[in-house]
Structure formats: C-alpha cells, structure tokens
Amino acid sequence: MKLSNKLLSNISVASVCTLLWIWVLPGTIALRHGLLGIGCIAGVLLIKENWSKLSSAKLNLIPLYLISSLFVWVGIHYLFFSLNPALELSEIKGLWARSFAGCIMAIGFGLALCQHNQLRKYFYISIFAVPLLNLIVYVIACIQAGGLVKPMDFFQFYFAKIETAYFGAIATVVAIANLIYLLFGQKRSNAYFQAALYFLGIALVLLSDFVANTKNGIAITLSLCILFLLVILGKVLFGSKGSKISAGILWVLMLLMLAFAWQGHKSFAYKGWDTIFEDVKVAIEIDKNTQWQRKEGTVEPPLNSLNLPASLNTYSRFAYGIVGIRLIGNHPFGYGSINQSFNGLQTYENIYHEHEGQVHSGWIDFGLAFGLPGLSIIFLSLVAIFFIGLKQKSILSLIAVLFSIMLIPFGLIAEISYKQYFEATLFFITFSSTIVAFVGVQKSDQKL
C-alpha cells in the first residue's frame, strides 16, 4: 500500500511536534528515539516522493549539499586526522548516526510544511513548548515554596538553561517572522489577533528566560526583538498611513516589554552585567591569570580593574574561549569529538586543567572538534540560507533567514555543539536548508 503525500506529511509533522513537547522532559529517551525513527522513515518516503521537484532546485540546494558534505568531512577526519579514533568512532556510531537520522527527519518536515500550509500552525504552537513547560514548573515551584521564588533560587526545573535559551530563541524567530509577515504581507481579517498571539509568545519566552535566569536567553531574545524594532521603525517611516499607526503601536508595546524584561533580569540576575567589560579584560589574559586551569568555583577569580573579583561566569567563559581559540590555531583540523575535544586537546598538549567540560561557546567547541573545515561548512550553509531565503520572500523562508541570523551570534555564547543540542542544531539548519531549496520550486500562497 502506497502512503499518500498528505499522510506522510501528517506523520512527519506529528513526530517532530511531539518531539518538541517532550524534548526536555525526563525519562523520555526511548520515546524520543522512537519518534526520531518514525520521523526519519517519513522523511525518506517524502524525499523519494518529491525527488524530482527537490532535485530541480539546483543552486538553491547549496545549503543541503553543504550539510551533506559535513558528514563526509567527519568520515575523512576519522580516517586521516583523528587524535582519538576510538572516541570519535563511538560518537560516529551514536551522536552522528542520530544526527544523520535527524537531518533526514528535518528534510521531510521541511517538505511537509512547504506543501501543506494547514500543518504549519502545529509547528508554530509546538516551538513554544519549552518556554511554556519552564513556566509551568516555575509555578509549581512557587506553590511548593508558598510564595514567589527568585530566579537565582529557581533550581527546580527539569532541564538546563541552554534548553530554555535555545528553544526560546527559535520560538522568538518564529514569532518575529510571522509578525513581519503580518506587517508587510496581505491584510487578513484576523491579522490583529494573530499579531497579539505572537507578541504574547515573545513575552512568554522572555518570562521563561527571566525565571530560568539565563543571560544567554535574555541576550539573544532581546537582540532579536531589537532587530524587529528596527524593521518596525522602517515600516513607520516608509509605510502607508494606516500601517504606520498599527506598526507604531506595536513598536511602543515591544519597547516597553523589552525595557521591563531587561530591568527585571538585572534586578534578580547574578552579578556580572555591570562589570562585564572589566571582567573580560582579565579573562582574556590567560597566561597571566591561570585560575581557569582550576575547577570552576574552587578558586576565586582574579581581580578586575575595579579591584573587584571578576564574575565567575564571565571570567570562565571568556578564558575558556581564548584557550579554545589558541588550541584551534594549533590543531586546525580538530580533535574529533563533539563532547570531549576541549578536554582532549588540553590533555594532548599537556596543559594542566581541572575543567573537563565545554568551552561554553558552540562555535569554538565545534572548531575544536572538527577544525576550520567543519566550521567553514557550517558557516557557509548559514550564509547560503540567508541569501537564498532573502530572495524568496515567503513566510517559511523568512523563518529560515532569521534562524541563520540568530544562530551565528547565539553559537558564540551558548553550548549548541554539545550532546543533544548539537543534534538539534543540525536538525534546524537542515530544516532551514530544505525550506529555501523547496520554496523556490513551488508556488507559495504566502508572500511578503
């Protein structure tokens, strides 16, 4: 029995959206693997059914070609450049195999959303699952405590800050892309209602970042919102009279929300924002200040120019980053492990270190793992997504473009190249690559 395109698309979207809802919940590894398998099979069948259309995309396929070449580079690296073949092979059999299945799943998901507009709403809703679940857990924590829990004391969550920040950033991308579409696209009767929902969605993300006390989440969400404010400003200055009023109201509301969010975060967050520049100065002097070699928190950070101890979080991140960049310079082809390259290269060079984790910068971590060739492939794919998607002017392409804009700075400050977060990164890059490839070969009824 041959499964129809619509049924396969429904299966693909259902598996991805369910995965988004359960991703952060404990004890769901087996279910996640099952959904990955279902989504991968649906992806294979959707690729087969749409092969003629997809292959006709020609130059628009460049991002997908680049992502495919990343897996080829991993194989070449293992054969010729690996500094720890046993560890690299174990990750190829595990993490990279799941990543490959995730990429097939992402292609099928992208094809499904491109062809069936009615399925997109399920993605738009599900991408807000992590921020929503985070707030639900926070409310439960407040009920248990008998009052409001300060963000810095909120350790009752099921998942790490990176998940709050990462999925919150992607949710913000989806919300802002749809708000831009509503501002610049054809007017619809329910446009104001939809705009209000997406505005509340951004507020949900900011509130989730606030209670999780994640600087990365606050920083990237505020940055995306500032970008949106600039877009709205252009609409106010150059739009028609009617659109200027609605855009102006949205601009004021967004500005007020950002001001409250920033002030609230500064009031309850750990110290660090006020002295960040002074702290960075002492952090990058890795040969003079060697506290980074000790386990984080076991020794006091060095004094900054204000004669105050540097913020531990800021000091560690920037010190590790400088060490990581130096190691990439010494080993431009990388160590070969997504999860252990920073630790492995320090051991390889006989550098004393007690920290065995990541650099805390996704791009530096990936550079340590697969070197400058691996980084080049990822960055070229994001640049290609940006330029190809920018010319297409469809709502899905706009989401892909904003995702590529968001991921580059976010990857500098967040652990997007670690364990399941790396798998998610490849999934969304492949998803965006599929969108810009397939939108170009079919007529879209949602133009800006």
248/134: higher pLDDT: 134
Question: What average pLDDT does range 323-346 have in this prediction?
Answer: 97
Element (H, E) at 71: helix 62-80
Say what percent of the chain tops pLDDT 70: 92
- For residues 67 and 429, give the distance between their C-alpha atoms in angstroms, rounded to a whole number: 8
Res 330 pLDDT > 60? yes
What does the pLDDT look like over 355-397, one tens digit per residue?
Answer: 988 998 999 999 999 999 999 999 999 999 999 999 998 999 9
Q: Where are the domains of the chain?
A: 5-273+360-441
Cβ-based neighbours of 165, under 8 Å, separated by 6 or more: 209, 212, 214, 216, 217, 220, 410, 414
Give 26-54 as a DSSP string. TT-HHHHHHHHHHHHHHHHHHHHHTHHHH
The 8-class DSSP code of residue 23 comes to T
Residue the block writes with tokens 């899905």: 396
Alpha helices in 81-147 (DSSP H): 85-91, 97-115, 120-126, 129-145
CB 219 within 8 A of CB 162: no
What does the pLDDT look like over 389-401, one tens digit per residue?
Answer: 999 989 999 999 9
For 374, the token pair is 């691996």
Among 57-71, 145-159, 286-300, 341-355, whose mean pLDDT is lowest? 145-159
Taken in order 322, 327, 333, 339, the sign of the CA dihedral is: negative
- For residues 124 and 127, give the distance between their C-alpha atoms in angstroms, rounded to a whole number: 6
What's the pLDDT score for residue 263? Answer: 76
Give 299-317 as a DSSP string. SPPPB-TTSSBPPHHHHHH
Residue the block writes with tokens 């109201």: 249
Identify the CA nearest to 181 among candidates 397, 405, 441. Answer: 397
Identity (one letter) of the amino acid at 259? A
Identify the CA nearest to 417 among candidates 99, 94, 69, 86. Answer: 99
Confidence category of residue 445, pLDDT binned at 50, 70, 90: very low
Confidence category of residue 444, pLDDT binned at 50, 70, 90: very low
What's the pLDDT score for residue 160? Answer: 73
Confidence category of residue 25, pLDDT binned at 50, 70, 90: confident
Q: What is the rounded radius of gyration, in angstroms, for the C-alpha atoms of the chain? A: 22
- For residues 335 and 122, give the distance between their C-alpha atoms in angstroms, rounded to a whole number: 40
What's the pLDDT score for residue 446? Answer: 45
What does the pLDDT look like over 62-74, one tens digit per residue?
Answer: 999 999 999 999 9
What does the pLDDT look like over 167-197, one tens digit per residue?
Answer: 999 999 999 999 998 888 766 678 888 989 9
Cβ-based neighbours of 381, under 8 Å, separated by 6 or more: 62, 63, 66, 67, 429, 433
Cβ-based neighbours of 238, under 8 Å, separated by 6 or more: none
Confidence category of residue 159, pLDDT binned at 50, 70, 90: low
Identify the CA nearest to 184 among candidates 235, 114, 116, 142. Answer: 235
Res 447 pLDDT > 50? no
What's the pLDDT score for residue 85? Answer: 97
Identify the CA nearest to 60 among candidates 432, 424, 403. Answer: 432
What's the pLDDT score for residue 187? Answer: 67
- For residues 231 and 233, give the distance between their C-alpha atoms in angstroms, rounded to a whole number: 5
Res 333 pLDDT > 80? yes
Give Cα separations from 63 to 121, 373, 429 (angstroms).
25, 15, 9
Number of C-alpha atoms within 13 angstroms, CB side, residue 115?
Answer: 23
Mean pLDDT over each residue of the chain, to the nearest integer: 90
Identity (one letter) of the amino acid at 12? S
Confidence category of residue 158, pLDDT binned at 50, 70, 90: low
The model carries a pTM of 0.93
Res 321 pLDDT > 90? yes
| Cα Dmax for the chain | 74
- For residues 311 and 317, give the distance between their C-alpha atoms in angstroms, rounded to a whole number: 10
- For residues 139 and 147, give the distance between their C-alpha atoms in angstroms, rounded to a whole number: 10
Question: What average pLDDT does range 312-323 have in this prediction?
Answer: 93
What's the pLDDT score for residue 412? Answer: 94
What does the pLDDT look like over 289-310, one tens digit per residue?
Answer: 999 999 988 899 999 988 999 9
What's the pLDDT score for residue 155? Answer: 54
Among 15-19, 207-211, 243-247, 349-353, whose mean pLDDT is lowest? 243-247
Element (H, E) at 322: helix 312-330
234/75: higher pLDDT: 75
Question: What average pLDDT does range 432-442 have in this prediction?
Answer: 88
For 187, the token pair is 């007017």
